[in-house]
Amino acid sequence: GGSSSINGTVYMRGTPADYDEWRQRGCEGWDWDSVLPFFKKAEDQERGADELHGVGGPLKVSDVPARWPLPSAMIEAARQAGAPANPDFNGPTQEGTGFYQFTASRHRRWSSARAYLRDARRRPNLHIETEAHATRVIIEQGRAVGVSYKTPAGEKQARASAEVIVSGGAFGSPQLLQLSGLGPASLLKEMGIEVVRDMPGVGANLQDHFNTYLTYRCSQPVTLNDLAISWPRRMLAGARYVLTRSGPLTNTGVIAGVFLRTDPRLERPDMQINMALFSAEKRLPTGIVPHPFSSFTLSPVHLRPDGRGSVRIKSPDPLVAPAIHYDFLVTEYDRQAILHGMRFCRKIGAQPALAPYVMEEILPGPQVTSDEALLEDVRERAIANYHPVGTCRMGNEVNAVVDARLRVHGVPGLRVADASIMPQIVAGNTNAPSIMIGEKAADMILADN
């Protein structure tokens, strides 16, 4: 947990066709018409209620607090490059360019912990234990009956009166199931773990969005890099935010974008371009290090990669991180899609609306033009987009892990409820769909118990 406390706060559902495709894969009750009520139930939408948006829910959803000149110019440049204006990416259509919405309220992050846990933690039937690491699901006579976990005070157990619900995310959930004897039998035997149930699908089907980035030196001091490299500006921005909740710190730096199709024959967008008010010289475990000059980024994100990776334990020790293997750029479609996204970014950067801001392209650089050179640059600099899903996928196929009610196949008393159950990644940021999954899971759990 905790992703919504450190993410970019973008509120994006994906397209209705994403969820209709889930239904086509055997996930009854997960089509768009079935999941929309749970999106609306979660929302407290700043724009008000309508047939697609909800109010009164625990999750605050708001617009960009201030329309700055540079992102507005980026959006206009995207329009000049051929993208239609789109005032609501969660509206009737996703394609186009415009400002994002965010899980925020009064210029403060509105995480799922703030939305759901802050009030619920006072309930007598809820116990929260921090500094605890789940080590395995306890399975007795084929049924899940509890969870073992480590704390600074030692090993503990929590016994379930009804069922165990695993919500460890696309990395943590398959790891915990494998540690519990639920996974590929060959892997479990290799790790010395007793096989409770041979489930090859646990840890398979790993998907993520795939992105690279084009960096432009900016001719005006209007980026977040200008703030980061100047102590006086940083202090002033901090003071403005603390005292008046205004200024550059009221946004996450990625406040606008484009959704487009890399092939006109496609029925819906497969490419997202994030417009960022900063650029990174390097990435460290503690965060990014900005370039020491004014610059911004256009980042093409492939939303529907063909590749499928895996999450597999490396040790029976639950404190050892699993092996995470992505499989990007495995098909010609994957390669051509990211190339199309890079070239559309360059098309945006060359439009009149950005002429007052663009000094030069820094990365990958104007000399990198051929398909081969661009793909080599992608292989060197591209990254996963921090949207992992699919490793405990839902469905009725042989290797599906959970059914349409999120119950683990063949293991009574055990459910998985998080992004790992997605059979196919959605077209857009995954926080909003994950919250929808939680809302729908809660509804099913109450109905079944």
Supply the DSSP string of 82-145, one letter for each residue.
TPPB-S-TTSS---EEEE-EESEETTEE--HIIIIIHHHTTSTT----SS-EEEEEEEETTEEE
Clarify whether 387 is annotated catalytic: yes
Q: What is the CATH number of the domain that holds 133?
A: 3.50.50.60
Active-site option among 107, 133, 387, 409: 387
Is residue 68 very low, low, confident or very high in pLDDT (cuts 50, 70, 90)?
Answer: confident
Inside any domain, residue 417 = yes
Measured distance between the N- and C-terminal CA atoms of the chain, rounded to whole angstroms = 24
Question: pLDDT per residue over 135-162, tens digit each?
Answer: 999 999 999 999 999 999 999 999 999 9
Residue 415 pLDDT > 80, yes or no? yes
**pLDDT of 406 strictly over 80:** yes
Q: What is the pLDDT of residue 151?
A: 97
Letter string b/e over residues 183-204, b meaning 16 or more CB atoms within 10 A of that residue's CB: bbeebbeebebeebbebebbbb
Express the helix, strand and coil content of the chain in percent, nearest 5 each: 30, 25, 45
Map tokens 């165990």 to a residue.
164
Same domain, 241 and 116: no
pLDDT of 420:
99
How far is it, in rounded angstroms, from Cα 367 to Cα 375? Answer: 14
> Is residue 448's pLDDT more than 90?
yes
C-alpha 184: how far from chain center: 26
Residue 155 lies in a domain: yes
200 pLDDT above the threshold of 80: yes
Question: Cα–chain-centroid distance for residue 333?
Answer: 22
159 and 233 in a single domain? The answer is: no
pLDDT at position 352: 99
Same-domain status, 281 and 399: no
For residue 287, is pLDDT > 90? Answer: no
Does 363 share its domain with 291? yes
Rounded Cα gap, residues 50 and 54, in angstroms = 7
Give residue 149's pLDDT: 98
Same domain, yes or no, for 158 and 216? no
Q: pLDDT-based confidence at 294, cuts 50/70/90?
A: very high
Single-letter code of the amino acid located at 265: R
Same domain, 423 and 352: no
139 and 238: one domain?
no
If asked whether residues 344 and 405 sit together in one domain, one would say: no
Q: Is it the case that residue 246 has pLDDT exceeding 90?
A: no
pLDDT at 67 over 80: no
Q: How do residues 86-107 score in pLDDT, each as one tens digit? A: 999 999 999 999 999 999 998 8
Is the pLDDT reported for residue 66 higher than 90? no
298/319 same-domain check = no
Q: Mark whether 131 and 252 lie in a shared domain.
A: no
Query: Which residue, of 381, 399, 420, is where some domain finishes?
Result: 381
Q: Does residue 104 belong to any structural domain of this protein?
A: no
Quote the domain boundaries for residue 151: 1-62+109-205+311-327+386-449
Of the CA atoms within 13 Å of residue 228, those in its CB half-sphere come to 19
Q: What is the mean pLDDT of the chain?
A: 96
Q: Give the containing element (helix H, strand E) for 152.
A: none
Give yes or no: residues 250 and 177 share one domain.
Answer: no
Mean pLDDT, rounded, for 301-317: 98
The pLDDT value given to residue 1: 60
- Is the pLDDT at 2 greater than 80, yes or no? no
Decide which of 357, 381, 405 is a domain's last residue: 381
Task: Identify whether residues 197 and 221 lie together within a single domain.
Answer: no
406: left (phi over 0), alpha (psi -120 to 50) or beta: left
Q: How many domains does the chain have?
A: 2
- The CATH code of the domain that includes 281 is 3.30.410.40
| Percent of the chain topping pLDDT 90 | 91
Indicate if the pLDDT at residue 83 is higher than 70: yes
φ/ψ (deg, to 5) at 97: -135, 145
Angle at alpha carbon of residue 98, lines to 93 and 99, rounded to 5°: 115
Tell which wins on pLDDT, 284 or 174: 174
